[in-house]
A and B are shown apart, each in its own frame.
Chain A
């Protein structure tokens, strides 16, 4: 039985869009075929992540990172987990080299171009640790996608992307390394208009 570690990189608890996406992808991985563990990042830590937590990442045949984009990049809380995992592997502890790595990233912005550098960071992480980078599912306007995903026919691309992760895992990594970009059902100009109005109201600029 293959071991999968799903990493929830959001600190928003039950309100998190990332948690919704994590559950979606988890539901596509049958319990009979995969031993799944979920690691959620922590807001407060004394020292580094406990070795039991890092051991779950080390033992996994595949890591699926699900997280929100913060300022075009990885949230600080998730970055800390990646740093601690890197130190753990460098301390000589056993870990699964060539473990497959997937990412599901969501953000509040409607244009997928924003994800490019974040994906490159994850590729660098995999290269440093000799992990097998597979691909990312990049979800624009994550909260909008969560709200509309139960509307029939609107979430086909999302379903296809999550199915691609399940299928790639099953086939042992035979799918092409192509990232999936999911745009919201609501057109980008409307999302941007709402965003600008929100920022103006909140005096964020």
Chain B
């Protein structure tokens, strides 16, 4: 399985670094081919909403950057993990730019909010933002209609629990 881990490299913290390393380790231990991409805010263009990736040149984004390359091969990805700081209960702009451009795997996505200074409402907003909108066929966004898991971590203990949950899911997927 090919897996990509996106993180916001302008907002690195001990928590996010620990999580990204832990996820990469679990994936590699379970035989996944892992690519970790640290996104920089000035190097990831936002989605222009031109729809040319869907109409004129399928899967190709007009913005030629690292995200554009992942976008082109998105159907071959078994898993995409987005590790993002939680800003007002939302993704950071940098990670949102990657997400808006359709880099989420069509098979399985994991969205992880990683911040130590958020309140209960922001945490709940972040979870609902993803969890409420996946699986409901009427309102589902193309590319987000498959399995999407969402977590929020505020401590190293929660990081360890997320990694353990991923390890169990990968084992279950391997046995299925």
Contact = CB atoms under 8 A, between A and B. Distances in A.
Interface of A: 10-12, 16, 41, 43-47, 68, 70-77, 79-80, 82-83, 86, 109, 111, 113-114, 116-118, 120-122, 124-125, 127-128, 192, 199, 202-205
Contacts of B89: 117, 120-121, 124
A74 B96 contact: yes
Contact of B125 (A77, A114, A120): A120
Nearest to B129: A117
Contacts of B138: 109, 111, 192
Contact of A71 (B44, B48, B88, B99): B99
Contacts of B149: none
Contacts of A72: 129-130, 133, 141
A46 B42 contact: yes
Given A47-B42, A83-B93, A202-B54, A12 B88 contact: no
B125 A124 contact: yes
B97 A76 contact: yes
A76 B93 contact: yes
A83 B42 contact: no
B122 A124 contact: yes
A117 B125 contact: yes
9 contacts: A76-B97, A79-B87, A79-B92, A109-B139, A116-B132, A121-B88, A124-B88, A124-B122, A205-B145
A14 B121 CA distance: 36
Contacts of A121: 88-90, 125, 129
A124 B139 contact: no
A43 B93 CA distance: 12
Given A43-B48, A79-B90, A124-B122, A204 B96 contact: no
The 8 A-B residue pairs with the shortest CB-CB distance in the complex, in nearest-first order: A76-B97, A80-B93, A79-B93, A76-B96, A77-B46, A204-B142, A124-B88, A76-B46
B160 to A, nearest CB: 28
Contacts of A122: 88
Contacts of A109: 138-139
Contacts of A199: 142
Given A12-B48, A68-B49, A113 B139 contact: yes
Interface string B51-63: 0001100100000
